[in-house]
């Protein structure tokens, strides 16, 4: 959403206005303070958690779980995607199977994962990796298929081996696709980290908001949701920055 | 990954895996409590269909998904058209929307539970939140893509907002809005199952967790397989619907702002 600089002011005013209306409605008890605690109470709770350092342990746990699952998914996704994208045979054998597994809701494998791994952190990471693997896999397969034919000819002329072709031409060429997929994967990884924490009682922000709900501490519940929102935003921005840095060599597309 | 002339190759690995799995399951070292047996899974699935428990659970899941989807579609298209028509308004409201969007929809499950209690409504509300964003964003982009001369004509004819919406904008933008809806349909099923897995006691997700907790791996896998078929069928049907739509856009990338 592109906006003019002067509109930022209006945008900020709009957001502040929304919060103010909420604050007044909650203060006057026109809306239930249990369901919609006023923004100031949520803010105070958030500040308290940060000041007392309570927030860091669950935040770190969620972040770590998300990151490990995502890293595993990225690794698997690039390897399998490269295989499928660069080999017709692999595509024939694996393609239909993957097409069937892909639309499966990742959270639906939780019961099966629990059967194998129990209510453990490994189970959570396996589920996260399963759900987050698809965007990376598909985008890297696409990146490998879409290598320019001229580059293929160059590789053939230079007598590059298959491995050299992959490392020197295919991976750099597919990198923009892979990184775009990795960003989608990261958002999925965060969602699944929260889901596994709620379902399998793993410590983290997801479990915290569920516990806050059970004890009807709604400011804490909102504070948790806000922290998750901020986390999703920051992580996405960070990866975007990494992406720009890694792709500096690329000539801007016309 | 389209099916090539050698489409049969796709069957090799699954069939081989199934046969080996069945054979291994009759050997002594097999962990029957986690892996079950393909034949047991088939029996459990067939039983679930005959006694009506799987169709019922499926209906509950689909019902919540559709309910949430409908709410998201109405809100998303309405606000999308309004915001798409006025770039100024979009500039003012947009950042607030951007601030809400990164909130993972599942983080709202406890909040929805607090508000609605267990049941259809809480599940549908989380589905609606998750489905709202793709529909809203695609609609805004689709309205931007409407031929400006059409809007001029509508203005000259002094059409009311409703008339402009239903006679000009929606027909012109529907081919693209369709893409957002298609994304939302797959999201809706995923989110509905997720809510059930986490805590809502209804539908396929809950039924799977129940099967796991009562140590019925055969039933877990039977339902997982069924869910896979359901998602796959839905995807295929949607692909077909989109390709049949006149003037439809094939992929999400085409309409991203």
**pLDDT tens sequence across A10-47:** 888 888 998 998 888 888 888 887 788 888 889 999 99
Write out the two tokens for A245.
Answer: 């840095």
Rounded to an integer, the average pLDDT of A131-153 is 85
C-alpha dihedral, B90 to B91 to B97 to B101, nearest 10°: 110
Residue B150 domain flag: yes
Instruction: Please name the residue of chain B whose CA is at the shortest distance from the CA of residue A138.
Output: B1
A81: CATH: 1.10.3720.10
A254 part of a folded domain: no
* B231 neighbors A104 (Cβ within 8 angstroms): yes
DSSP label at residue A37 = -
Residue A225 lies in a domain: yes
**Structural domain total, chain B:** 1
B192-to-A15, A26, B201, B212, B227 alpha-carbon distances in Å: 30, 30, 12, 19, 12
Residues A14 and A51 in one domain: no
Contact A15 B99 (CB under 8 A): yes
Domain identity same for A74 and A139:
yes
Reported residue count of chain B is 257
Residue B16 lies in a domain: no
Q: Quick check: is B13 in a domain?
A: no
CB within 8 Å: A225 and B98: no
Same domain, A51 and A135: yes
Residue B12 lies inside a defined structural domain of this protein: no
Specify whether A25 is located in the same domain as A47: no
CA dihedral B155, B161, B165, B169 (to 10 degrees): 30
Q: Residue A155 domain-assigned?
A: yes
Please check whether residue B23 lies inside any domain of the structure: no
Residue B190 domain-assigned (yes or no): yes
Does A177 fall in a domain? yes
User: In this structure, are A12 and A94 located in the same domain?
Assistant: no
Could you tell me which residue, B135 or A249, shows the higher pLDDT?
Answer: B135
**Which residues in chain B come in under a pLDDT of 70?**
1-7, 242-257
Q: What percent of chain A has pLDDT over 90?
A: 28
C-alpha R_g of chain A:
23
Residue A253 lies in a domain: no
* Residue range A69-109, pLDDT digits in tens: 999 999 999 999 888 887 888 888 888 888 888 888 888 89
Where do the DSSP E strands lie in chain A? none
Task: Give B245's DSSP letter.
Answer: S
In a domain? residue A132: yes
Residue A100: name the closest of B7, B252, B10, B212 by CA.
B10
Cα dihedral sign, A195-A223-A3-B87:
positive
Does one domain contain both A86 and A25? no
Residues of chain B in contact with residue A224, where contact means CB-CB under 8 angstroms, are: 107
Q: How many domains does chain A have?
A: 2
Q: Within this chain, do residues A15 and A67 fall inside the same structural domain, yes or no?
A: no
Is A91 touching B (CB cutoff 8 A)?
A: yes
Tens-digit pLDDT profile for residues A49-76: 999 988 899 999 999 999 999 999 999 9
Same-domain pairing of A23 and A47 = no
pLDDT band at A190 (very low <50, low <70, confident <90, very high): very high
- Residues A3, A100, single domain; the answer is no
Q: Are residues A12 and A121 in the same domain?
A: no
Which one of A7, A18, A213 has the shortest CB-CB distance to B91? A7
- Cβ-Cβ pairs closer than 8 A, A with B, add up to 187
Percent of chain A surpassing pLDDT 70: 96
Domain, as residue range, for A20: 1-31
Task: Report if residue A26 sits inside a domain.
Answer: yes
A169 and A201: one domain?
yes
Write the ipTM: 0.83
To the nearest 10°, report the CA torsion of B98, B100, B103, B104.
Answer: -90
> B151, B187, B188, B152: which is closest to B170 by C-alpha?
B151
Alpha helices in B145-216 (DSSP H): 148-156, 161-163, 170-198, 203-213
Task: Establish if B193 belongs to a structural domain.
Answer: yes
Interface of A with B in 183-202 (CB under 8 A): 187, 190-191, 194-195, 198-199
How confident is the model over A120-135, as pLDDT tens digits?
Answer: 999 999 999 999 999 9
Q: What is the pTM of this model?
A: 0.85
Q: Are residues A76 and A198 in the same domain?
A: yes
Question: Is the residue at A189 inside a domain?
Answer: yes
Q: What is the pLDDT of residue A251?
A: 58
Q: How far is B9 from chain A (nearest CA, A)?
A: 5
* Token pair in block for residue B64: 């919540």
Structural domain containing residue B183: 40-45+53-255
| CATH classification of the domain holding B233 | 1.10.3720.10
Neighbours of A215 (CB within 10 A): 9
Chain B nearest C-alpha distance from A154 (Å): 26
């Amino acid at each position: 959403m592109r906006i003019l600089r002067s509109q930022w002011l209006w945008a900020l005013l709009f957001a502040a206005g929304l919060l103010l209306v909420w604050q007044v409605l909650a203060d006057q008890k026109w809306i239930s303070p249990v369901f919609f605690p006023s923004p100031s109470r949520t803010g105070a709770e958030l500040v308290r958690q940060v000041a007392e350092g309570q927030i860091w342990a669950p935040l770190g746990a969620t972040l770590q779980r998300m990151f490990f699952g995502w890293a595993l998914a990225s690794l698997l996704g690039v390897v399998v995607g490269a295989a499928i994208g660069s080999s017709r045979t692999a595509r024939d054998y694996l393609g239909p199977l993957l097409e069937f597994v892909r639309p499966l809701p990742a959270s639906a494998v939780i019961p099966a994962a629990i059967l194998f791994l129990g209510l453990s952190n490994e189970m959570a990471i396996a589920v996260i990796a399963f759900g987050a693997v698809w965007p990376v896999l598909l985008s890297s397969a696409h990146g490998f298929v879409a290598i320019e034919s001229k580059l293929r000819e160059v590789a053939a002329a230079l007598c590059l081996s298959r491995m050299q072709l992959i490392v020197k031409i295919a991976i750099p060429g597919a990198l923009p696709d892979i990184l775009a997929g990795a960003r989608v994967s990261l958002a999925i990884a965060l969602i699944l980290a929260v889901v596994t924490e709620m379902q399998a009682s793993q410590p983290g922000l997801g479990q915290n908001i569920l516990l806050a709900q059970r004890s009807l501490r709604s400011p804490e519940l909102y504070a948790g949701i806000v922290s998750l929102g901020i986390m999703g935003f920051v992580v996405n921005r960070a990866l975007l920055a990494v992406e720009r840095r890694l792709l500096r060599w690329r000539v801007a597309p016309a | 990954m389209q099916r090539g002339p050698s489409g049969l190759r796709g069957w090799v690995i699954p069939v081989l895996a199934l046969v080996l799995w069945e054979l291994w399951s009759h050997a002594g070292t097999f962990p029957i409590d986690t892996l079950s047996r393909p034949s047991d899974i088939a029996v459990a699935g067939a039983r679930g269909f005959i006694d009506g428990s799987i169709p019922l659970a499926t209906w509950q899941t689909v019902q919540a998904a559709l309910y949430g989807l409908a709410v998201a579609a109405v809100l998303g298209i309405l606000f999308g058209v309004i915001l798409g028509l006025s770039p100024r308004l979009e500039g003012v409201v947009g950042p607030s929307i951007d601030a809400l969007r990164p909130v993972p929809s599942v983080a709202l499950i406890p909040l929805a539970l607090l508000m609605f209690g267990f049941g259809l409504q809480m599940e549908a509300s989380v589905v609606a939140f998750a489905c709202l964003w793709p529909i809203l964003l695609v609609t805004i982009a689709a309205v931007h893509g409407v031929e400006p001369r059409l809007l001029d004509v509508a203005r000259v004819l002094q059409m009311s907002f409703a008339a402009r919406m239903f006679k000009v904008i929606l027909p012109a933008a529907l081919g693209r809005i369709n893409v957002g809806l298609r994304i939302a349909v797959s999201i809706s099923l995923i989110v509905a199952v997720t809510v059930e897995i986490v805590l809502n006691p209804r539908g396929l997700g809950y039924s799977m967790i129940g099967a796991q907790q009562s140590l019925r791996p055969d039933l877990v896998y039977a339902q997982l397989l069924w869910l896979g078929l359901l998602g796959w069928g839905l995807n295929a049907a949607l692909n077909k619907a989109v390709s049949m739509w006149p003037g439809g856009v094939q992929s999400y990338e085409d309409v991203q702002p």
